[in-house]
Structure 1
Amino acid sequence: MTTPSPSDDSRERLSHASPQAFWLSRGERPEPEPRLTQDTHCDLAVVGGGYTGLWTALLAKRRDPSQDVLVLEQATCGHAASGRNGGFCSPSLTHGLANGIERWPHEIELLQRLGAENFDAFQRDLDDFQIDCGFVRSGKVTVAATAWQSDALPAAVALAQQHGEKARLLNAGQLQEYVDSPLWQSGMFSPDYALLDPAQLVWGLRRACLEHGVRIAEHTEVTALDTQNPLRLHTPYGHVTAQRVALATNVYRPLLRRLSLSILPVYDYALVTAPLTDDQLASIGWQGSHGITDAGNQFHYLRKTDDNRILWGGYDAIYHYGSSRQEHLTQRPATFAKLAQQFSQTFPQLGEVPFTHAWGGIIDSSTRFSMFAGTAAHDRVAYALGFTGLGVGATRYGAEVMLDLLSGERTERLEPAMIRRRPVPFPPEPVRYLGVQATRASLAREDSHGRRNLWLRTLDRLGLGFDS
């Protein structure tokens, strides 16, 4: 897709957009739990109240209901990536099959099976814990906007089928049965893909935790971790002494110096339209409940909400010098205007539809585009990080991995190299910033003509990358 200059019209359609994530703007948002105001102790302290942390706490209580589990969240549960994402839930643990094959070709069958098993367990747990987050296996359509993207889709379908994934090639006519845009030439339908409501998932996990006896302290920032024996977590109003600690800090400071270069904070942005009429949806041929992504490096993701809005996000993946993690950077008017203009280019039938929400969030990207895990302090501290924007389903797997590591149990989940070995770290500044900018420019050039340049080929050989 070309990038037009944002017009006054696109900016006007954003003039009344709320800066809050659509999912978090509903009235059913729960009241926060009280902050920690005194010293306490627990069996397991979980740092971070997003998907990974809440899954860890909940599954820990299921493994041993007698243990005392405490979740420490610096703001409110789900305020960051867990409440701001697009609600796409993939069965992949490796940021997609192609990335998994490139990095772990000899283990891909195991990784595929573990991913599928985790995906099924994810859905069963939603039922068991009565978490109603609109989870539905509605499938995903990957669309091609250029000749070279279309040419690559048959091989992608064959690769998926070879490794046990269901996939079907869609020619131009068949694609119109899923969505109709003048930009998209062909597509691939992947049925084993789910959509859900991100905020309802995090609020449901939070409720289930509380019902099963997990203690949650919100507005409680952990400022330091003392790894002596016993473990001690420092907060502004009290200390927590813990037998074990699980770090589920996503993109935020991981509390272990060894991890400081392992993740990169990447800013991602999204818009949501006003509700569409049946006629408006019919004009773009989108009658199903499937999600859609395009096949570019700088890709868009889009889906419908329960009230027939369209969420439209992606494309810009912004890194700020020094790995800045600032809330004000989640508002980027230039990107919102660009996304609005691209939406009009994709769906000219909806050229007058306004946007009601425009927000951003931070993704914890790793050099291999997928999660990693490990331990510290003689296996009394565990961490799972680096989900790189495709981690809604994988967060549950990361939680199980941390609990396995902390228990000393050698399960099959711990066998893959993606768990046993940490990713190559990002370089320090200023090399990090210069490398990211060179990579972004190279990816944009590949999108424009379909060829990887020397820089990208070199990164491929080194096993390095930048992605959201």
Structure 2
Amino acid sequence: MSTPTAYGHDVRTDLSAVRASLAGASPRPFWLDDAPAPTPRLPLHGDVDTDLLVVGGGFCGLWTAVLAKERDPQRRVILIEAVRVGWAASGRNGGFVEASLTHGEDNGALHFADELETIDRLATENFTAMRETIARYGIDAEWEETGMLTVATEPHQVDALREAAEPDGDPVFLEGEALRAYGTSPLYRAGLFTEREHAYVHPAKLAFGLAAVAERLGVEIFEKTRATGLRAPRAGRVEVTTTAGVIRADRVALATNVFPSLLPALRLFTVPVYDYVLMTEPLTDDQLADIGWTGRHGVADSSREFHYYRKTADNRILWGGYDAIYHRGRTVRPRHDQRRESFERLADHFFLAFPQLAGIRFTHTWGGAIDMSTQLVAFHGAAKAGRVAYSAGYTGLGLGATRFGADTMLDLLEGRDTARTRLKMSRRLPVPIPPEPIAYPLIQTMRRAVARSDRNGGKDGPLLKLAGLFGVGFDS
């Protein structure tokens, strides 16, 4: 017999109350409102030569530029960004920083079973280096290491959380009063609290801070400069055409993630899936006490279609996840950033989780595209005889992993044989996602299969089992 899910696709809170909570919300990402962008940087004008060109001004590209100058302060590094630094996924995400490079242990075991010990070591080193770099340069990213609470909202999830607990108490399994010390919700059945290797940042402040550091190190950043093509003649430098001129570079690092790769052969290995987020007004101490959430930890539930939520510095609650919307044709468009149906569903689920907060309002509602890959983690590699490197497919759990991707691209461009470049995620591509007209019905079918898995006590049906055999995963 199937178990009804805590959440659902139908709005169950009073619809008028849901709509009232969303009325007047800003469509801009909260982070970009809270940390106004620095003065716009000039676009490129004319042709230029450089040692290293970084394409993309999000986290992956910014880390690549910073690390490149740290490795070799003398090399000329140019970074180009089509719009503004940090405007896309890097300024829209939840700000969760996890050490994991595998989107969880189960997914890691599915794809990289024989490499997990090495991956875990590299993940810890990357997380530690990220923390230390932010501190060393004085980046005001609001870095907090306050732990993560994973909650069971369905009966079948309780035993899985219990089995994941460790004898040393990290992570620790929570029930009853112990769980209520971390949060009080009618949907919480059990919890797993992990203290190590989980942090939270202000995404926009981190992006703007990395860009400022890059410039202090000598990186030249050009905004409003869109790359439109790439040529790599057998002899000579790699040529990247832009809307403002041609850049000739010895090496090129592609950090365009969800946007179509300058290497056409890579374009079927990611697909843009939109995630949507709400941000509440600041909550009072009494309101937070009412829901038992007096700590600074983040929270996520255990379903395949899951929610993630955390606090900001001024005690707002960011509430996102669950919906994963693919728009036909692999399109990434500004109009997709707003989706009333998703916002209403998210608000409904928020009040189901925290009925104590009935009547509060959401000040910001936004969306953004995630570059999903079928292995649910990033892949890295080199092309054009090692002169071009790429890193993409972060699938929504990549804030910390972008630094690892940057280091891996630099290793590849420098011809280094390292533990990073020997990993399967750096030597092979994931299973591709077919082009249209196959992609849209296939993704919708997979989404329905994921929803059925949640409704059926977490048991995967034949389609998800078959996909797993071929190394294909799907989550919200």
Partner Cα separation in structure 1 for residue 441 and residue 472 of structure 2: 14
Q: Unaligned 5+ residue runs, structure 2?
A: 1-5
Are the equivalent residues in 2 in contact too, given 1:365–1:467 (CA < 8 A)?
no
Q: Secondary structure at the match of 2:132?
A: helix
1:5, CA displacement in angstroms? 2.1
SS at match of 1:38: coil
**What is the TM-score when the length of structure 2 is the normalising length?**
0.95
- 1:5 is aligned to 2:5: no
Asked if 1:269 corresponds to 2:276, the answer is yes
Query: Residues 303-332 of structure 1, C-alpha deviation per residue, up to 9 Å, x if partnerless?
Result: 010001000000000011111111110100
Partner in structure 2 of residue 219 of structure 1:
224
With 127-136 and 394-403 compared, the bigger mean Cα shift is at: 127-136
Correspondence for 1:196: 201
* 1:182 corresponds to 2:190: no
Deviation at 1:199, TM superposition (A): 0.6
Distance 2:162 2:308 in 1: 21
Select between 56-65 and 123-132 the one with higher mean Cα deviation.
Answer: 123-132
Letter in 2 for 1:32: P
Provide the residue aligned with 1:116 in structure 2: 124
Q: What is the CA distance between 1:420 and its match in structure 2?
A: 1.3
Identity across the alignment (%)? 47
Structure 1 equivalent of residue 73 of structure 2: 65
Where in structure 1 are there 5+ consecutive unaligned residues?
none
Of stretches 221-230 and 335-344 in structure 1, the one that deviates more from structure 2 is 221-230
Structure 1 residues 2 and 375, CA gap change in structure 2 (3 angstroms): same
Deviation track 1:80-133 (CA, whole Å, cap 9, x = no partner) reads: 000100000000011112211121111111111110111001101111222120
Equivalent residues, number: 464
1:395 counterpart residue number: 402
For 2:404, the aligned partner's letter is Y
Q: State the Cα RMSD in Å.
A: 1.3
Deviation for aligned residue 1:65: 0.5
Q: Is 1:293–2:300 an aligned residue pair?
A: yes
Preserved contact between residue 275 and residue 308 of structure 1 (Cα < 8 Å): yes
Shift of residue 442, structure 1, vs aligned partner: 1.0
- 2:388 pairs, out of 359, 377, 381, with 381
- Alignment counterpart, residue 311 of structure 1, candidates 315, 318, 329: 318
- 2:325 aligns to what SS in structure 1? coil
- How far residue 466 of structure 1 moved from its aligned partner, in angstroms, is 2.4
Deviation at 1:165, TM superposition (A): 9.9
SS at match of 2:165: helix
Match of 1:40 in 2: 48
Amino acid of the residue matched to residue 397 of structure 2?
L
Task: Tell me the secondary structure at the aligned position of residue 301 of structure 1.
Answer: strand
Q: Measure, in 1, the Cα distance between the counterparts of 2:165 and 2:328.
A: 38
Distance in 2 between residues matched to 1:145 and 1:96, nearest whole Å: 19
Moved more, 345-354 or 223-232: 223-232
Separation in structure 1 between the aligned mates of residue 190 and residue 444 of structure 2, nearest angstrom: 31
Rounded to whole Å, the distance in 2 between the matches of 1:332 and 1:282 is: 32
Question: For residues 170-211 of structure 1, what are the alpha-carbon distances to aligned partners after superposition, in whole Å with 9 as ceiling and x for unaligned?
Answer: 113211111110011101011121111111110110000011
The answer to which of 305-314 and 425-434 deviates more is 425-434
d(CA) in 2 for partners of 1:67, 1:350: 54
Provide the secondary structure at the position in 1 that maps to 2:286: helix
Matched, 1:74 2:82: yes
Between the aligned partners of 1:165 and 1:371, the Cα distance in structure 2 is: 30
Q: What is the aligned partner in structure 2 of residue 138 from structure 1? A: 146
Q: What is the CA–CA distance in structure 2 between the aligned matches of 1:289 and 1:177, rounded to whole Å?
A: 12
Contact 2:450 2:475 in 1 (8 A): no
Which one of the candidate residues 359, 363, 381 is aligned to 1:356?
A: 363
**Following TM superposition, by how much is the alpha carbon of 1:148 offset from its aligned partner in structure 2, in angstroms?**
0.3
- Matched residue type, 2:173: L
Alpha-carbon shift at residue 27 of structure 1 (Å): 5.1
Structure 2 match to 1:454 = 462
Q: Does 1:208 align with 2:216?
A: no
CA contact (8 A) 2:35 2:205 kept: no
